[in-house]
Structure 1
Amino acid sequence: MAGYFTLEADSVLRDRAFMRLLIGRVTATLATQIQSVVVGWQLYAMTRDPLTLGWVGLAQFLPMALLVLPAGDAADRLPRRLILTASWLVQAIAGVLFLVLTLSGTESPIGFFAVLVLFGMARAFAGPGMQSLLPQVVGERRLPKAIAWNSSAFQVAVIGGPALGGGVYLAGPAFAYGLCAALFACAAVAIASIRRRLPARADTSRASAFARFTAGIVYVRTRPIILGAISLDLFAVLLGGATALLPVYAHEILHVGPAGLGLLRSAVAIGAFSMGIYLGRNALERRAGAIMFAAVAIFGVATIVFGLSTSFMLSFMALMVMGAADMISVFVRSSLIQLATPDSMRGRVNAVNMLFIGASNELGEFESGVTAALFGTVGAVVLGGVGTLAVVGIWMALFPALRRVDRLNDVATSAPADSR
């Protein structure tokens, strides 16, 4: 692969192809964050029903869950640049459809849910495509630095996106959706403009489609440390998904309006970004597994604090702590996956990881909406935090190998060369 790259390993930021990939990632993430704030606020204002926020998450998760494994296989067999470009173009179309629905003056959320399904289908292909394209663009030698810059840029977009979404909503949801469509289109253009010749990723095996689609699941299942890490994140965030109920907190508990909602959503990303900088300067040298479990426990405690808070500042701080703790979990999980996965499997393994992430986020939103309808908003968040603490204890018993992980690099030594 080194023949495709002409710059030295320490010059990744001067690599035009990488910068275009970075611009596309940031632009698409901004659009996603803005759209998330606007859709949540608009539909809650339309129905005044917390369960509506749950359906928003479910409408995105179900199509993603159905398509993400075939999408991972496609990322290992087809041009990843083409897959990512097409995905962001479809998301731009979804933004246009949201705009049309808003201008039509409809008071029914059904049409919005239909567009969210389309959006979820496109996201299923964007995740594996993006994660597996990065190594092709920068090469193996520069991959660690590229991952660091890519993650930092992503967190900047996650920080700014929700706050920008809350401000943009003041100009009206129609303007916000038009902006999202334009941003997604720009992201697609940025990826399509990468001119570097990339190596083909064709899988020459004679395996059936079903075997190819499930290869990532088989790979993860046979590695208990990876399975434990991603399932811990799944259930912890699934139960502690307080962010799905932020529109309710902003509107009825903290009384801060859409601008305050944007700030609350940004608080999680601010905590994650700050922790990301710390981890970049102070790598986890030892006891990575134990630190991961401790971080998830802190995430649960912070969730309980947020659930009980009636102060905007305390709520903001609790969300920051949640973001910082979650970043540690994400860092350990991502490192395990990157270090233990060969390139020929990256699309499919990243698809499995995305399935877990999607379940913890979008399906977590549905779980939060349902429990809020049953137990009230505060009760649902507090119950979720308690559940997260319970999951930590159970997973420490179920996955002792994960708890005993010391140096992350040690995991890579046992990775098979290939698993097609």
Structure 2
Amino acid sequence: MNRILSVFLSHLFKTGNLTITDASGGVTQWGDGTGEKLHIRFNTKAAERAVALHPSLKFGEAYMDGGLDVVSGSIYDVLALIFANADRGDAAREPWMRAIARMRLLYRRYIQNNTPRRARANVQHHYDLSGALYDLFLDADRQYSCAYFERPGASLEEAQLAKKRHIAAKLNFDRPGLRALDIGCGWGGMGLYLAGQLQAEVTGITLSDEQLAVARKRAEDAGLADRAKFRIEDYRDVKGQFDRIVSVGMFEHVGVDFYEAYFSRCAELLEADGVMLLHTIGRFEEPTNTNSFIAKYIFPGGYIPSLSQMTAAIERAGLIVTDVEVLRLHYAETLRHWRERFAARRDEAKALYDERFCRMWEFYLAASEGSFRWQDLVVFQVQLTKSRDALPLTRDYMFEAEARLRQRDDPDAAAASREGTWPERCAAE
């Protein structure tokens, strides 16, 4: 086995039961022999060298390109073992690992220079893939962001509906006809929910042609085209004033150097008594680089913020943070559903693209789930206003609105789950 790789692995694996067959046919055991037996095989010496020098990028590439195979277990199982050991070992403190991290920080500003033109290209890279691909693993509403699991055992469909309901309650739609802006509207699900359930006048913006076409058709089919309008537009170019602003899963694409511009624009667009809800992936530790594999192949230009980075820009924009909720394991559970659904329909994905694409997607979903389950990734829901008296004095209005919407969404399900939801359990007590 490559000597550098061997040193790295000796520092990484303290627990577990991993067998590695190297490109020369040598077999080594790693860990303390506990847990599920896993086995990976390197097929080329080049893959060994690459993983040794830059594991955060090259391990995923080697799996994607066939430079290594998982012989026993799955790529998720292998990554779970790596994540479980990462906090115990000191592999990440190897000199060359620290050097790579510093180099990535140096050119981060170039990679995340998300000008309007580059931002559109980055979005199209991921979101303009075949709609049939997303139908393989998303819910029918195509909610491609963290779901909200109100109770154990909730289905993905239930949890994604609950997410929309949870967000809508925080936006405090206290009267019909409020003008709402959905920044990064996706395939239209959130905007259509606000237009249909709360009689809002919704403007949804996206940079994806595929998403725009689907959102507009869904609005027509639902008879909501007069209240839910979607268009291609960068957040920097939006004109007008809005009573409510919502942004779900879009802020990760803004880029650190544009945070102040983003929040300043939101402040300009929001009415004096308006309310904004930002739903974004974040990290609870200090700022750091985006995973190399995800940045290169999945979300170019993407960056996961810490709360400190967000609040500094929010304060400079003149907005007030009125509520923060941290969803911890909800995205891990969401990704588990996506990963399992994708695996069940892998042959269909391969027919759409190819084996390499399937391996890339498997690695992306597995690594992402692991990051939320064992590393520092969470989801922040940050409520913002321009005025300190724009909202009621207590958070009761959120629980009350959520209960009303739950009853409206599905009366039978609301009755069945009443004992299991936190807001209603608290109300009952």
TM more than 0.5 = no
Greater helix fraction, Structure 1 or Structure 2: 1
Q: State the structure with more CA Rg.
A: 2
Higher strand share: 2
